[in-house]
Structure 1
Amino acid sequence: MSYARLPGLPIVDAMTPAVLTLVGPVTRDEVTGLCDDVRRLLDATGTGAVVCDVAGLGPPGLEAVDLLARLELAARRAGGRIRLRDPAPALHALLDLVGLRFEVEGQPEQREPALGVEEAVEPGDPAV
């Protein structure tokens, strides 16, 4: 019995999230379609994450915050999450200000110390 080999590397393809490029400003009518795109990408890839490239989103404002919150909600309802790529520092600060936390590509998770960081130990400290 023979079969056709699928293109790509199966393990790598299963771990590579899809990328959704957001170019703004995004109108209120486009938000529903983008939420549908996030759900569709999560179903198609099965990775549990969609990377949203927000470099071209435009000036940060409440419209951008609303869009990202709705995309995250759509992703969570579909069993996944979104991850941001290239957010402007002002957008990152605005998201922190309103209390929304997103995973950003290239940043270590909050639970993990950054690479190369070691804790200092004082003489006489008890071993843990």
Structure 2
Amino acid sequence: MSMFQIFNISGSAVSAQSQRLNVVASNLANVDTVAGPDGSVYKARQVVFQTHLFGDPQSAGVKVTNVVEDQTPGRKVHDPAHPQADAQGYVTYANVSSIEEMVNMISASRSYQNNVEVMNTAKALLQKTLQLGQ
């Protein structure tokens, strides 16, 4: 494996984790949203990763193939005074768990940071190699 392939592999992971962080941010922004007049409510989204080959069978990265919606029903809270309450007095909130999303965000952030560190280490090694030739 070439040292330059490390940049492809880590770069693909950084890109995928960046998309994952964007989805997590969207989910967290909609934690407390309620169903609108049509009854639809925000559904949590999750990214789906897939192995991506770079031509060389020994060189594989990662890519986001899809962003899927979680189909579990939203949580219902009994609040008859709420303007969005249904006929039984329940308000339907998004099916987003702030705790799960925070854990997901920490995981994505650490993965992102680790891959940036891999690229920085590869860059430093290449620079040292070039200095040896001087």
Short-chain TM bin: under 0.3
Q: Which has the higher helix share?
A: 2
TM-score, structure 1 as length reference: 0.23
TM-score, structure 2 as length reference: 0.23
Identify the structure with bigger relative contact order (alpha carbons < 8 Å, sequence gap 6+): 2
Greater radius of gyration (CA) = 2
